Structure 1
């Protein structure tokens, strides 16, 4: 997986879309990081939808566990 730069929104965060998120309207995930916090959102909903916030240690554990599957 790689990421591509998507946009900087009014929230001031620089959001990245996963390369696994296709342009065909399927499962789309964007992430942004600010300090020790990682933000995750559904890119179809973009700025209007909810955002999940986790600390960087929680995010790293999630990514490691997901990659191990």
Structure 2
């Protein structure tokens, strides 16, 4: 799968780095994105980033889900 540009002309790797440097916006961006996507299609077409650590990604996604379930995010 090749890289691609978003409407804002930023590569997905750059977007990921910017998002990872801005904790304040992380949960908003992630939950906004996954609330409006066909997750089955995203999984089928998706791939982990080159520097992604699968175990950390899974742990962080579980922590995010737990926080949403507990009402810690508003």
* TM-score strictly above 0.5: no
- The structure in which a higher percent of residues are strand is 1
- Identify, as 1 or 2, the structure richer in helix: 2
Return the index of the structure with the highest Cα Rg. Answer: 2
TM-score w.r.t. the length of structure 2 is 0.27
